[in-house]
């Protein structure tokens, strides 16, 4: 089997996974592989990158995340902050895509990770301040000294 034939077979297998395992439309698949750093076209990838992508897709666990995308210690802290800030994973992913053009925490560099954590910390502080201000305002109205 020639290299060209092996690459063609890998592309077919990857599209088979896309359709049968994930039920992803072609546009969504292109967006996902581009976000993972594979570009938008499987034809542009050499055999080793196709093999790598196929292995990644095969490792996807049923809950929707591949094993290689488990959070590190700093990522777990970020996840805690995300939940504390009442953000969803899709909101966080949208933020990372908009600001860094990356789809997952593990794709961010150190500077980008610090920026995400700082943003979530500021968001939490703002929410705490609003809650405190609302509490003081509501207490002031219920205990009106002239009332």
State pLDDT tens for residues 13-48.
999 998 888 888 888 889 889 888 899 899 999 999
81 and 64 fall within a common domain: no
Closest CA to 41 of 3, 21, 2, 11: 11
Range of the domain at 5: 1-68
CB of 96 closer than 8 Å to CB of 105: yes
CB of 45 closer than 8 Å to CB of 15: no
Of 53, 68, 83, the domain-final residue: 68
45 and 75 fall within a common domain: no
Q: Do you know the residue count of the chain? A: 147
CB of 103 closer than 8 Å to CB of 93: yes
pTM of the predicted model as reported, rounded to 2 decimal places: 0.48
pLDDT at 137 (0 to 100): 76
pLDDT at 93 (0 to 100): 85
76 and 144 fall within a common domain: yes
Of 28, 52, 68, the domain-final residue: 68
pLDDT category at 57 given cuts 50, 70, 90 is confident
Q: How far apart are CA 46 and CA 68, in angstroms?
A: 21
- Residue for token pair 């610090």: 114
22 and 87 fall within a common domain: no
46 and 32 fall within a common domain: yes
Instruction: Write out the two tokens for 93.
Output: 């992913």
pLDDT tens sequence across 89-140: 888 888 898 899 888 888 899 999 999 999 999 999 998 888 888 887 777 6
93 and 55 fall within a common domain: no
Q: What is the DSSP-derived secondary structure letter of residue 40?
A: S
- Angle between the N-to-C axes of helices 47-58 and 3-17, in degrees from 0 to 180, rounded to the nearest 10: 30
101 and 123 fall within a common domain: yes
pLDDT category at 2 given cuts 50, 70, 90 is very high
CB of 128 closer than 8 Å to CB of 120: no
Of 39, 68, 97, the domain-final residue: 68
Q: How far apart are CA 8 and CA 14, in angstroms?
A: 10
């Amino acid at each position: 089997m020639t290299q060209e034939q092996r690459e063609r077979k890998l592309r077919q297998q990857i599209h088979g996974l896309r359709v049968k395992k994930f039920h992803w439309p072609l546009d969504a698949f292109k967006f996902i592989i581009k976000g993972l750093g594979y570009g938008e076209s499987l034809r542009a990838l050499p055999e080793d990158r196709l093999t790598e992508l196929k292995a990644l897709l095969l490792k996807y666990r049923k809950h929707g995340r591949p094993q290689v995308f488990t959070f590190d210690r700093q990522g777990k802290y970020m996840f805690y902050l995300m939940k504390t800030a009442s953000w969803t994973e899709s909101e966080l992913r949208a933020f990372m895509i908009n600001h860094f053009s990356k789809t997952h925490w593990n794709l961010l560099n150190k500077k980008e990770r610090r920026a995400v954590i700082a943003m979530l910390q500021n968001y939490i502080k703002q929410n705490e301040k609003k809650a405190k201000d609302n509490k003081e305002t509501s207490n002031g109205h219920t205990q009106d000294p002239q009332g």
